[in-house]
Homo-oligomer: A and B are copies of this chain.
Amino acid sequence: MNAHPVDAEPLLTPSEVATLFRVDPKTVTRWAKAGKLSSIRTLGGHRRYRESEVRELLNGIPQQRPSDG
C-alpha cells in the first residue's frame, strides 16, 4: 500500500547501479564512500542512489545531442 503523490525521486539499489556499470555492488558502495556518487541512506543504514545521478555518470554528460558538433 504505497500511494502518496509526493515528490519521490526514482531511487536505485546498489545492485541496480552495479548492474548498470557492470561492477560489483560493493564497488558502488566504494564510490559512495569516496563521494563520487550521492547516496541516500535508509533508516537501517543501507544505501540508495538516484537514477538520474547514475544516468548522468553512465553517459558522462546527460545533455548529449545527436547534431552536436
Contacts and interface: CB of A to CB of B under 8 A. Distances in A.
Which range contains the number of A residues in contact with the other chain? 20 to 34
A52 B49 CA distance: 21
A4 B16 contact: yes
Given A37-B43, A41-B60, A8 B19 contact: yes
When A and B form their complex, which 3 residue pairs have the shortest distance between CB atoms, in order from nearest?
A11-B22, A36-B43, A31-B43
A46 to B, nearest CB: 8
Interface in A1-44: 2, 4, 6, 8, 10-13, 15-16, 19-23, 27, 30-31, 34, 36-37, 40-44
Contacts of A36: 43
